[in-house]
Amino acid sequence: MENIFVAIASYRDRECQWTLKNLFEAARFPERIAVGICWQFDPELDRECFSEPCPRPGQVQVIDVPLADARGACWAKAKALSLLGEQEYVLLIDSHMRFAEGWDVEMIEMLRQTGNPRAFLSTYPAGYVPPDERRFNTPRLVPVKFFERVMSMNSVLLDMPRPLPSYLMAGGYLFGHREMFVEVPYDPHIYFIGEEVTHAARYYTHGWDGHTPHKCLIHHYYERKEAPHHWDDDKERWPEINRRSYKRIRHVLGIERTADAEALLEIERYGIGRRRTLEQFQAAIGVNFKALLIDRKRQESIAAIEQHLAQPQLPRADHEIDALGVHACRHGQFLLPGNDAYIGKAMTEYGEWTEGLLKLLAALFAPGAHVVEVGAGFGAHAIPLARLAGAEGRLTAIEQSQRMVDLLHANRVLNQVDNLHIVHAHAGPQTGAVEIDEPVFRTEGGNFGMIKHRPMADWQKMVPGLMLDGENWGPVDCLVIDTPGAVAEVLAGARRLLASQRPVLLVNADNAGDAERSGEILRQAGYHLWRHVCPFFVADNFFQCQENLFGGLASQSLIALPDGRDISALGALPQA
């Protein structure tokens, strides 16, 4: 049974009692929910905060804080989170919220839909007005301006079919695995402004990815004109607390270093992580902290990508559906374009495609491995590679063509492959959108596995871009890159992955110049290289077809192994 811990920081908030009541009433499994509250109040002035009896008091822990001891929002949130037990999930919220029916089950399922074991959900929720007048929308966080040299955010509305990456977080709606809150503890030394961008940077650099929820499950009371605030009640102390907080934030984000010991309390515990850099975080969200710049074009690109993902283009029947067919091949049933001059032709005539590469790869990793394939196409290799990884392993397939991604999804279903995770993106040396021309499957003799990219000019041809270094893959045991002529670009965005994970690699080497650049990157990373040649035609193919349709054509590859790896599987392959 999966349990949720809900952390609430409440400052003299009459809405908190109703938040707590609705939280349990709307849950499908209220018995699986535990709540921790940091209650900051005055027993005489705030009696109205406790007019409603506490529901399920056995599941609610409270830290009572006199107003004289209060230190701000983040301090109170850290106090509430200190009550975390062994629950699998954590929801951090404000004290003035309303909940959708079944929010607990839906939120866990939404987190799973990201397909990312280190994802979290966060945004500025839709609003409500007491007692329960709700608005329904799904806002996405965006950088908007700088105040005191610290970035602040706003939200834009976006309809989405699934949670989409944003890498940002909101302090009033943060849902994730308990491991994230243990690994990246909430910083009690930040006062209020700057809380969100600082924690977003810390989560990202520790290897956690923020996603925008696509379902409206909770609501926030925004107006609150009547509500008391700590900065109004404690006018003597809060200016100094706030001043030190700004110093701390600017130090953590690399904007301005400080030697103020008070501003740097426990900075080692609450600092930036080492899995990814602060520069990568800024590139991912499209800002420059030191220059106080927000890349508006980058923001437009992100918004357009998400809108594109929210409204995916369906296959066009006039050039696609009638050019496809399902073929029984060596490794299962494949929906594929028969007009393809190479992979499609080999699959339809021989029932396989470069089977020698699959046999070699089978010797390079063991069941249970995580394999990443860049340039997966319709799955000629992805499907058998996923099976080789086994039930305890997985295959992450990255493909830039939406048409090919559609086929890959279909082939995953046709072959009942459950451990195949599909990513529609262009992998390269940097993030940001690129432009491609989708293959037209009706074209006779087209090479549909050779799709070139270029800087984006036409939104209709847009593909989101990623760096392998910028993703949360977990352990990567084997990396396959089949992007003829662009392998070096992919490797240029994977240097940290190569250094930290040390996977074995098989990369396309059909283009001599690209192969030379790829080899140099791999050697610099401490890899040893071998060459492999796999002919398109072998007599012992699955259909036993003896007609050679490809002459002497063959696939050229580089195999790269780090020091200490067993090379016996490579046999007599020549070193490169």
Assess contact for 136 and 233: CB atoms under 8 A.
no
pLDDT in tens, the chain (576 residues): 689 999 999 999 999 999 999 999 999 999 999 999 999 999 999 999 999 999 999 999 999 999 999 999 999 999 999 999 999 999 999 999 999 999 999 999 999 988 888 999 999 999 999 999 999 888 888 898 888 899 988 888 877 778 888 899 999 999 999 999 999 999 999 999 999 999 999 999 999 999 999 999 999 999 888 899 999 999 899 899 999 999 999 999 999 999 999 999 999 999 999 988 998 888 888 889 998 888 766 565 555 555 555 554 444 444 455 678 888 999 999 988 888 889 999 999 999 999 999 999 999 999 999 999 999 999 999 999 999 999 999 999 999 888 888 889 889 988 889 899 998 888 999 877 778 878 877 777 666 666 666 665 555 567 778 889 877 778 899 999 999 999 999 999 999 999 999 999 999 999 999 999 999 999 999 999 999 999 999 999 999 999 999 999 999 999 999 987 877 777 778 887
Residue 515 neighbours by CB distance under 10 Å: 23
Residue 239 neighbours by CB distance under 10 Å: 11
Looking only at the bridges linking them, the beta strands covering 478-481 and 504-508 are parallel
- H or E, element range at 200: helix 195-205
3-state secondary structure of 555: strand
According to DSSP, residue 53 is labeled P
Closest by CA to 383, choosing from 327, 345, 341, 437, is 327
In DSSP terms, 481 is beta-bridged to 374, 507
Both tokens of residue 449?
A: 């596995």
Assess contact for 219 and 97: CB atoms under 8 A.
yes
Distance, CA of 534 to CA of 519 (rounded, Å): 19
Question: What is the SS3 string spanning 220-264?
Answer: ECCCCCCCCCHHHHCCCCHHHHHHHHHHHHHHHCCCCCCCCCCCC
Closest by CA to 466, choosing from 405, 514, 399, is 399
- Residue 454, burial from CB neighbour count under 10 angstroms (0-12, 13-18, 19+): exposed
Q: Which amino acid is at 352?
A: E
Both tokens of residue 409?
A: 């999804």
Domains, the chain, ordered by start: 4-223+235-308 (3.90.550.10), 314-570 (3.40.50.150)
Looking only at the bridges linking them, the beta strands covering 426-427 and 527-535 are unpaired
CA 237 to chain centre: 40
3-state secondary structure of 465: strand
Distance, CA of 368 to CA of 384 (rounded, Å): 14
Closest by CA to 350, choosing from 482, 534, 533, 510, is 534
Q: Is pTM beyond 0.85 here?
A: no
Both tokens of residue 132?
A: 């329960």
Assess contact for 294 and 285: CB atoms under 8 A.
no
